[in-house]
Amino acid sequence: MNLIEKTIGKEEIFEGKIIKVSRDTVELPNGELATRELVEHPGGVAVVALDNEQNVYMVRQFRYPFQQVVLEIPAGKLDPGEEIQVCCIRELEEETGLSADRLDYLGRFMVSPGFCKEWIHIYLARNLTVGKAHLDPDEFLEVETIPLDTLIDMIMRDEIQDGKTVIGLLKAQEFIRREQ
């Protein structure tokens, strides 16, 4: 069965600092027309920074859309033309002051494929060196370390709800398990 939708028209609605929004007209597999709203985002990187005692460096920051402080793994947006691993290294250092001698790529995921064209790439950072964070001028966060096992328990108790954090921590745990 053909499941492909063919784009036959695009109306640019908004272009901001981070996202672009369009309303697209598509031809469905049955020949009918439909409208799709699309948010385009340059993508990002998220990092599970794990120390030698199996503690993960986490950040707490206010997330405006949900009006709450969220516990997350360090993450950030890809700059135009920026390599994924370079973004990983940059964001880890900016938010936590950490650098890592070992980076393992854990994969990528679609943030919300029903309307948003954004990929987040996940890395596991190990053999960490502590330095000084240098946040963006509009970035306010707190860094803390929490044992990986505790974070997995928090996920299962629904205390961590950020998608990149849930996926990153679970993938990191499985990656480590498979190494043993």
Q: Mind telling me the catalytic residues?
A: 139
The amino acid occupying position 125 is A
Q: Which residues pair with 9 in a beta bridge?
A: 25
Helix (H, G, I), strand (E, B) or coil at 70: strand
Token pair belonging to 58: 């986490």
Helix (H, G, I), strand (E, B) or coil at 114: coil
DSSP category for residue 82: -
Query: Any idea what the Cα angle at residue 97 is, between residues 96 and 101, rounded to 5°?
Result: 105
Strand residue runs (E) in 51-173: 55-63, 68-72, 75-77, 98-110, 116-117, 119-130, 141-147
Token pair belonging to 139: 């970035």
SS3 of the chain: helix, strand, coil, percent, to 5: 25, 45, 30
